[in-house]
Chain A
């Protein structure tokens, strides 16, 4: 698969991957900004407001009709957090011309419409329409408040919010409720104009078209994009150690039938010069896949919980362990989660365990080339982190990871905070007395 990187405009970069094997193509356009408490909600809502209507397609209905006519092409707002970088924009997925009547020119039309949404919103007197802004503000607030609906992800969110309370990373990709409350159409218009003029832009394309043709289509569609002084001063602050000497404990009480335990570690010194392959393999050994120690011991052998798994964020340098447990088993679960980490630290990893973990990571990276959505995510994250390996190159490094490498990562991690979401029954009973 051939990857070509081209600068289209000042601060606007295209990564184009050509492949004939897919039946669809994908295009994403991402504005990159620093994730901050005061602006995250404004950035997030912008993509949704822009999706409401353009100068030439003034409402959702006219956009929808146009998209149906493009054989169900989807162009959706996408808001992501990669480390402490917030990425907002659009992700388009469209059928490849070879399966459609001649002259459909789906990519050209999709690129045109996506850029139209980004650059020429429906405005009145130069301002974003107040009714669109109000409506999307309400929906953003619903989205932010709705985090509580899924308890497993809510528990992870609450741990991160408190563990990284002094860092931008605490802010979710949609921003905070209080900032969202302050969204107002005049303020948002100003914010949008600034965002579009100063953000670095990363565009990703995957499909059957040659890179230079993709670049030509996009350059044309983006013509007139305002480009001021580009803010390249964005990045992620990686904290190496715990915030306090002792582990911080957090707890919430909600009406739930099962407790949710989340524990947060800093990846620590290994983030000085991160060996990504070793970090991924360590995670797979410890709790990242079904042959991992957490899965095999905490879940399978001891029946302590329904799920227990670990994940790492190498952009920010964190490891989280998340588990669903009965309220009275939380201490046992915690003890076993520690015991398994100690085992990895002490090198108690069998050759089979290490091999299985390496194969899992290797296979996932190799499979990435068969899925456009995964490729898009891989290349965007890599670009943001300033890395330039391909999935296959990283897979080859995974193959070379040794037990010593894994043990080194295990000994680098530092526990920072523990969160438990428990039932509010006891409290309710206490209130009644």
Chain B
């Protein structure tokens, strides 16, 4: 495997690509008992329409997530979740709009558990009976999500921002859409998206990287398959379709997210740079150390339930600031005023330098968490960059890049706000 030392952060990264197209990243973690592995496919809730074998395919909403649930069933009647758990590992999986990831951590028997992970994710086994039963379980999950104010406020924002992209819908689909799923749908989508060429394997463990390579080579299919091309819908313009949306739920105080579409940079180094610029710009202007947040906190407009992020998925990027506030409209006005000030006189230079230092520290702390390291590497592999390069890129970011990001993508006419207010009791 190729090896690169990141001396400044005390990490080493081993990388390789198997003949079947699987890309592997291994971070050796000497002195740790905990070992972590994630095996992920570039296939999520938004990959509903795709081109493969010379034709377009349309699938119901929720297949990727449904598949994630059913992958654990094995042909011998066992359940991989139980087998891994019985072996002392803590396995789990998630499906987002852009990817499906299967992972585990353990303190004993890492190679055995890794073999199991590779084996079950690459072995489809579905019957109409098990699919039917799962429809009940997932139906419950869909219902539960609609009770979560955090999800509802986010989903409504996506619906206001995006007219065509499938991120408008729940990753799990709807009770109606999953009713269309059969065992055959699952086999077809597994065959299309779970080929090693469309997948990555990342490991953080006290291990021999070459052993990881050999295990993957030995267990996974040998041939290199064509990678499906996803269609996420018509190109979106830069403005929201609706600027304000409000709903009521059983809540104690209004929750809000203010968001805007960002034109994503091309994959590779420019994508990594744009992410870091965005994160640093948001931290400098809207971070919990900044003037904006501290003033609004003191004035009672914001509390500790507050966050900001830039989210890349399914060919789109979205900047979001959200939290709880007694007056979301006032927060929106303050955000517009803060952006206007950046446009007029730029970002505060001291605040920018402090944010850079703080961002370095936060990224360093992130290396303590194996889950965090590995998922960042996976995301990087799907975006054709290496997440360990972010420390060096961070150093090189100029204040002007952050100012341009804020004034371009967070201009007043690009912002939309989704609000959930408490049900008014008469």
CA distance A136 to B255 in the complex (A): 19
A255: Cβ under 8 A from any B Cβ: yes
CB nearest to B106 among chain A residues: A363
B8: Cβ under 8 A from any A Cβ: yes
Q: Which of A177-233 contact B (CB under 8 A)?
A: none
CB nearest to B365 among chain A residues: A24
Q: Which of B39-47, B136-144, B331-339 contacts A (4 or more CB under 8 A)?
A: B136-144
Q: Please determine whether B86 and A356 come into contact, CB atoms closer than 8 angstroms.
A: yes
Min CB distance, B249 to chain A, in Å? 7
Contacts of B364 in A (CB 8 A): 23-24, 71, 95, 99
Q: Please determine whether A142 and B252 come into contact, CB atoms closer than 8 angstroms.
A: yes
Q: Please determine whether A289 and B85 come into contact, CB atoms closer than 8 angstroms.
A: yes
Contacts of B305 in A (CB 8 A): 146
A148: Cβ under 8 A from any B Cβ: yes
Min CB distance, A364 to chain B, in Å? 8
CB nearest to A292 among chain B residues: B85
Contacts of B294 in A (CB 8 A): 59-61, 64
Contacts of A131 in B (CB 8 A): 298
Q: Please determine whether A72 and B360 come into contact, CB atoms closer than 8 angstroms.
A: yes
Q: Which of A127-149 contact B (CB under 8 A)?
A: 131, 135, 138-139, 142-143, 145-149
Q: Please determine whether A356 and B85 come into contact, CB atoms closer than 8 angstroms.
A: yes
Q: Which of B80-110 contact A (CB under 8 A)?
A: 81-82, 85-91, 105-108
B160-186 near A? 1/0 per residue, CB < 8 Å: 000000000000000000000000000
Q: Which of A6-14, A118-126, A164-172, A366-374 contacts B (4 or more CB under 8 A)?
A: A366-374
CA distance A290 to B251 in the complex (A): 31
Q: Please determine whether A303 and B133 come into contact, CB atoms closer than 8 angstroms.
A: yes
CB nearest to A146 among chain B residues: B252
CB nearest to A52 among chain B residues: B298
Tell me the count of chain A residues lying within 8 A, CB to CB, of chain B. 66
Q: Please determine whether A142 and B253 come into contact, CB atoms closer than 8 angstroms.
A: yes
Q: Please determine whether B34 and A150 come into contact, CB atoms closer than 8 angstroms.
A: no
CB nearest to A305 among chain B residues: B140
CB nearest to B302 among chain A residues: A139
Min CB distance, A293 to chain B, in Å? 12
B332-363 near A? 1/0 per residue, CB < 8 Å: 00000000000000000000001101111110
CA distance A98 to B300 in the complex (A): 39
Query: Among B30, B141, B303, B357, which residue has its beta carbon within 8 angstroms of that of A69?
Result: B357
Query: Among A68, A143, A370, which residue has its beta carbon within 8 angstroms of that of B355?
Result: A68
Q: Please determine whether A23 and B367 come into contact, CB atoms closer than 8 angstroms.
A: yes
Tell me the count of chain B residues lying within 8 A, CB to CB, of chain A. 65
Query: Among B137, B141, B253, B290, which residue has its beta carbon within 8 angstroms of that of A64?
Result: B290
Min CB distance, B244 to chain A, in Å? 22
B350-385 near A? 1/0 per residue, CB < 8 Å: 000011011111101101100000000000000000
Contacts of B10 in A (CB 8 A): 23, 98-99
Q: Please determine whether B365 and A142 come into contact, CB atoms closer than 8 angstroms.
A: no
A258-B147 CB under 8 A given contacts A99-B9, A306-B141: yes
Quick one: which of A70, A139, A305 has the most chain B CB within 10 A? A139
Q: Please determine whether A142 and B303 come into contact, CB atoms closer than 8 angstroms.
A: yes
Min CB distance, B143 to chain A, in Å? 5
A148-B140 CB under 8 A given contacts A72-B357, A99-B8: no
CB nearest to A365 among chain B residues: B107
Q: Please determine whether A65 and B252 come into contact, CB atoms closer than 8 angstroms.
A: no
Q: Please determine whether A139 and B86 come into contact, CB atoms closer than 8 angstroms.
A: no
Min CB distance, B155 to chain A, in Å? 14
A296: Cβ under 8 A from any B Cβ: yes
A151: Cβ under 8 A from any B Cβ: yes
Q: Please determine whether A24 and B357 come into contact, CB atoms closer than 8 angstroms.
A: no
A256: Cβ under 8 A from any B Cβ: yes
CB nearest to A141 among chain B residues: B252
Contacts of A67 in B (CB 8 A): 289, 358
A254-289 near B? 1/0 per residue, CB < 8 Å: 111110000000000000000000000000000001
Min CB distance, B398 to chain A, in Å? 19
A21-42 near B? 1/0 per residue, CB < 8 Å: 1111000000000000000000
Min CB distance, B207 to chain A, in Å? 14
Min CB distance, A245 to chain B, in Å? 34
CA distance A1 to B262 in the complex (A): 47
Min CB distance, A242 to chain B, in Å? 30
Q: Please determine whether A360 and B358 come into contact, CB atoms closer than 8 angstroms.
A: no
CB nearest to A132 among chain B residues: B298
CB nearest to B133 among chain A residues: A303
Q: Please determine whether A65 and B33 come into contact, CB atoms closer than 8 angstroms.
A: no
B1-45 near A? 1/0 per residue, CB < 8 Å: 000000011100000000000000000001111100000000000
Q: Please determine whether A95 and B365 come into contact, CB atoms closer than 8 angstroms.
A: yes
Min CB distance, B270 to chain A, in Å? 26
Q: Which of A46-76 contact B (CB under 8 A)?
A: 59-61, 64-65, 67-73
A363-B89 CB under 8 A given contacts A71-B364, A306-B144: yes
Q: Please determine whether A71 and B88 come into contact, CB atoms closer than 8 angstroms.
A: no
Contacts of A60 in B (CB 8 A): 294, 297-298
CB nearest to B358 among chain A residues: A72
Q: Which of A336-372 contact B (CB under 8 A)?
A: 352, 355-356, 359-360, 362-364, 366-367, 369-372
Q: Please determine whether B136 and A303 come into contact, CB atoms closer than 8 angstroms.
A: yes
A291-B289 CB under 8 A given contacts A24-B365, A305-B140: no
Min CB distance, B355 to chain A, in Å? 7
Q: Please determine whether A68 and B106 come into contact, CB atoms closer than 8 angstroms.
A: no
CA distance A106 to B297 in the complex (A): 27
Query: Among B87, B288, B290, B297, which residue has its beta carbon within 8 angstroms of that of A359?
Result: B87
A370-B86 CB under 8 A given contacts A61-B294, A71-B358, A303-B137: no
CA distance A178 to B32 in the complex (A): 47
Contacts of B295 in A (CB 8 A): 61
A405: Cβ under 8 A from any B Cβ: no
CA distance A383 to B79 in the complex (A): 40
CA distance A68 to B290 in the complex (A): 10
Other 4 A-B pairs with CB < 8 A, given A93-B365, A99-B8: A59-B294, A98-B10, A146-B253, A306-B140
A–B Cβ pairs within 8 angstroms, 15 of them:
A24-B365, A61-B295, A72-B362, A94-B361, A99-B9, A99-B10, A258-B147, A296-B82, A359-B86, A359-B87, A359-B88, A359-B108, A360-B85, A366-B108, A370-B32
Q: Which residues of A contact B (CB under 8 A)?
A: 20-24, 59-61, 64-65, 67-73, 93-95, 98-99, 131, 135, 138-139, 142-143, 145-151, 254-258, 289-291, 296, 299-300, 303, 305-306, 324-326, 352, 355-356, 359-360, 362-364, 366-367, 369-372
The 10 A-B residue pairs with the shortest CB-CB distance, nearest first, are A72-B361, A71-B361, A72-B358, A359-B88, A64-B289, A356-B86, A68-B354, A145-B252, A306-B140, A370-B34
